[in-house]
Amino acid sequence: MGRMRSIPLGEAKDKLSALVDDAEATHDIITITKHGRPAAVLMSADDLESLQETVYWLSQPGIRDTIVAAEREYAEGSTVDGDALRDEFGLPPR
């Protein structure tokens, strides 16, 4: 994700189309303030989807231990190539 920045609501109203284009292109997260306080956040739809997926996976019981174990196995060279996976799951060879 890009940088975070803030913009007052009045300015956001005037520049909404440009802000949406900017959030999509730069992956910036734009906080919209109302009376000087954060009121809303503008971010690209892709970034929101990515954030939601991350939250989902990190909320799964045991996922962190699984990730640590997988990283350890990879570091030790314990990997399986694509051909072996296709064979294991009955998929045709490439």
| DSSP H helices in 1-94 | 9-14, 16-26, 45-58, 63-75, 82-88
CA dihedral defined by 51, 35, 20, 43, rounded to 10 degrees? 0
CA–CA dist 30, 24 (Å, integer): 11
In tens, the pLDDT along 1-45 reads 679 999 999 999 999 999 999 999 999 999 999 999 999 999 999
Sorted by where each starts, the structural domains of the chain and their CATH numbers stand as 4-44 (3.40.1620.10), 60-88 (no CATH)
* Distance in angstroms (rounded) separating the CA atoms of residues 90 and 42: 44
- pTM here is 0.67
